[in-house]
Structure 1
Amino acid sequence: MRGHVRRRGKTWTVVVCIGRENGRPRYKWYSGFETKKQAETRLTELLRELDLGDYLIPTDETFGEFLMRWLRDYAKANVAPKTYEGYEHMIERHISPAIGHLQLTKLTPAQLQAYYAEKLRSGRIRGTGGLSPRTVHHHHVVIHGALESAVKWGLLHRNPADATDPPSFETPEMNTLDDEGVRTFLEAARPTLWYPMIYVALFTALRRSELLALRWDDLDLTLGYIYVKRAVHRLRDGSIVFRIPKSKRSRRPVALPPSAILMLRNHQEKEELRRSLTDGGKVSAQDLIFAREDGSPYPPDSLTQAWRKLAKATGFTGIRLHDARHTHATLLLKHNVHPKVVQERLGHSTIATTLDIYSHVIPGLQDAAARQFDLAVDVTRSSIDVSES
Structure 2
Amino acid sequence: MEKPVAAADSGGSGTPARGTSKRTSRRRARRGNGEGSVRRRSTGSWEARFAVVDAAGQLRRQSFFAPTRREAEQRLREALSQRDGGVVAPGPRETVERFLATWLEGVKPRLRPNTWARYEEHVRLHLGPTVGRVPLTRLSPNDVQRAHAALLGRGLAPETVRRAHATLRAALQDALRWRLIASNPAALVRPPRAPQREMAALSLAETRALLQASRGGPLEALWVLAVTTGLRQGELLALRWEDVDLEGGSLRVTGTLTRVAREAPAEGQPKTHQVIAPPETAHSRRRVDIGSLAVEALRVHRGRQAEERLRAANLWVDKDLVFCGPMGGYLHRDQVDRQLKRLLAEATLPVIRFHDLRHTAATLLLGRDVNPKKVSEMLGHSTVAITLDTYSHVLPGMHRQAALIMDELLSDN
TM-score, length basis structure 1 = 0.79
Choose which of 69, 74, 78 in structure 2 pairs with 1:48: 74
1:207 and 2:238 are equivalent in the alignment: no
Distance in structure 1 (CA, Å) of the matches to 2:135 and 2:376: 42
Aligned match for 1:299, one of 332, 335, 339: 332
**Structure 2 residue 61 is the aligned partner of structure 1 residue 30:** yes
2:139 counterpart residue number: 107
- Structure 2: distance between partners of 1:159 and 1:337: 45
Shift of 1:14: 6.5
**SS of corresponding position for 1:360:** helix
How big is each residue's C-alpha offset from its partner over 1:28-74, in whole Å with a ceiling of 9 and x where there is no partner? 8537x9xxxx9998986542214467978642332212222232222
Change (3 A) 1:341 1:114: same
Separation (CA, whole Å) in 2 of partners of 1:142 and 1:15: 32
Q: Which residue of 2 aligns with 1:329?
A: 362
1:102 shift after superposition: 1.8
How far apart in 1 are the matches of 2:311 and 2:97?
57
> Which of the numbers 318, 331, 353 marks the counterpart of 1:320?
353
Helix, strand or coil: the match of 1:271? helix
1:267 equivalent to 2:301? Answer: yes
Q: Which amino acid aligns with 2:117?
A: E
Q: Does 1:84 align with 2:116?
A: yes
The answer on whether the counterparts of 1:14 and 1:30 sit within 8 Å (CA) in structure 2 is: no
Per the TM alignment, residue 350 of structure 1 is displaced from its structure 2 partner at its CA by 2.6
For 1:338, the aligned partner's letter is N
By how many angstroms is 1:183 displaced?
A: 0.6
CA contact (8 A) 1:272 1:282 kept: no
Aligned to 2:90: 59
Matched-pair contact (CA < 8 Å) for 1:3–1:43 = no
The equivalent of 2:390 in structure 1 is 357
| Partner amino acid, structure 1, of 2:383 | T
**In structure 1, distance between residues paired with 2:145 and 2:345:** 42
Partner AA of 2:75 in structure 1 = E
The equivalent position to 2:148 in structure 1, one of 116, 125, 136, is 116
* Residue in structure 2 matching 1:244, options 267, 278, 285: 278
Shift of 1:154: 4.2
Contact kept in structure 1, 2:315 and 2:327, CA below 8 Å: no
Q: Distance in 2 between matches of 1:174 and 1:132?
A: 18
Q: What is the percent sequence identity of the aligned residues?
A: 33
Quick one: distance in 2 between partners of 1:79 and 1:281?
Answer: 31
Q: Secondary structure at the match of 1:227?
A: strand
Are 1:189 and 2:214 matched, yes or no? yes
Aligned position for 1:339: 372
- Provide the C-alpha distance between the structure 2 equivalents of 1:322 and 1:208, rounded to a whole number of angstroms: 7
Are the structure 2 counterparts of residues 39 and 97 from structure 1 closer, same or farther at C-alpha, using a change threshold of 3 Å? Answer: closer
- Equivalent residue for 2:320? 287
Contact 1:232/1:242 (8 A) holds in 2 = yes
Secondary structure at the counterpart of residue 338 of structure 2: helix
Question: Cα distance 1:362–1:151, how it changes in 2: closer, same or farther (>3 A)?
Answer: farther
Q: Secondary structure at the match of 2:284?
A: coil
Aligned-partner Cα distance in 1 for 2:312–2:289:
33
Q: 1:155 to 1:29 in 2, by over 3 A?
A: closer
Cα separation, 2, equivalents of 1:40 and 1:200: 62
Query: What amino acid sits opposite 2:207 in the alignment?
Result: V
Is the contact between residue 234 and residue 300 of structure 1 (CA under 8 Å) also seen in structure 2? no
Contact 1:76 1:84 in 2 (8 A): no
CA contact (8 A) 2:49 2:76 kept: no
Correspondence for 1:231 among 238, 241, 256: 256
Give the counterpart letter for 1:305 in structure 2.
R
Q: CA deviation at 1:84?
A: 3.0
Aligned to 1:24: none
Question: Aligned partner of 1:16: which letter?
Answer: F
> CA–CA distance in 2 between the matches of 1:306 and 1:263?
17
CA RMSD of aligned residues (A): 3.4
Distance 1:41 1:191, change over 3 A: closer
CA distance in 1, matches of 2:316, 2:104: 43
Structure 2 partner of 1:21:
none
Which consecutive unaligned segments of at least 5 residues does structure 2 have?
A: 1-31, 40-46, 53-58, 262-269
Matched residues in 2 for 1:336 and 1:110: separation? 50
Instruction: Tell me which of 173, 189, 203 is aligned to 2:198.
Output: 173
Question: Residue type of the partner of 1:30?
Answer: R
SS at match of 1:361: helix
CA deviation after TM superposition for structure 1 residue 260, in Å: 0.9
Q: 1:318, CA displacement in angstroms?
A: 2.6
Question: What TM-score do the two structures reach when normalised by structure 2?
Answer: 0.75
Partner of 1:96: 128
Shift of 1:339: 2.0
Rg comparison, structure with higher value: 2
